[in-house]
Amino acid sequence: MKKIIFLAASSIILWSCKNNAENNKPTIDTTIQEKQQETHNETSEVIELNNGNKWLINIEMKPFITEGQKLVAEFLKTNNTDYKSLAKSLIEQNNLLIKSCTMTGKSHDELHKWLEPHLKLVEDLEATTDATKAKEIVSKIEQSYQSFGNFFE
C-alpha cells in the first residue's frame, strides 16, 4: 500500500511540472549516449541528447540533484550500511526535486526518462531487507546520477 501511495504521489507531482529552462550548451561525445544505452535498464526509454548537447534543467532543481549525489558519495565513502536512512534522505531530495520542476517540452520529457527509473531504484532501496541487494542498488543509484550528468546540466 505504501508503494502505491508513493507511486501515485510521485506521478501526480511529476505531471505537474511547468517550463522554465531550455537548451543550448556545449556538445558532448555521442559515445556517452551509446554507453548509456548499453547500461540503461531494458524497460526504460533511452535518453536523447539535445542535438548533441546536454539538456538544461531549471536552476531550482540543481541543488536537489547535487545533494542526492553527495549523499550517495558520502554513504559509499564511509562504508555506511544504514540503507534505510539513505533511502529516506534520497526520497526527501527526490520529492524536493519534483516539487521544484517547472520544465515542459522535450527537455522535461527527457528528464522523466532519467527520473522514473531513478525513483524506482530509490523505492527498491527503501523496500529491501537484504544488505547485499541494498549495496547493489546503491551502486545503481550512483550510476544513475552519473547518467544524469551525461545528459543534463
- Residue 47 inside a domain? The answer is no
> Which cell goes with 28?
558532448
Eight-state DSSP code of residue 27: B
pLDDT at 23: 41
Tens of pLDDT, residue by residue over 38-80, are: 444 444 689 999 999 999 999 999 999 999 999 999 999 999 9
Mapped onto helix, strand or coil, the DSSP state of residue 146 is: helix
Taking 90 as the threshold, does the pLDDT of residue 22 lie above it? no
Residue 45 in domain = no
Provide the pLDDT confidence category of residue 17 given band limits of 50, 70 and 90. low
- Domain with residue 146: its CATH number is 1.20.120
Assess if residue 16 is contained within a domain.
yes
**What average pLDDT score do residues 99-127 get?**
96
- Give residues with Cβ within 8 angstroms of 137, minimum separation 6: 83, 121, 124, 125, 128
In-domain check, residue 80: yes
> How many domains are contained in the chain?
1
pLDDT score, position 141: 98
In a domain, 108, yes or no: yes
Please answer whether residues 117 and 42 qualify as being in contact, where contact means their C-beta atoms are separated by less than 8 angstroms.
no
**134 vs 79: CA distance, rounded Å:** 12
In a domain, 99, yes or no: yes
Q: Any residues with CB less than 8 A from the CB of 22 and at least 6 apart, and which?
A: 56, 105, 107
| Residue range(s) defining the domain that contains residue 137 | 2-34+55-151
- Does residue 118 belong to any structural domain of this protein? yes
Count of alpha carbons within 13 angstroms of residue 144, beta-carbon side = 27
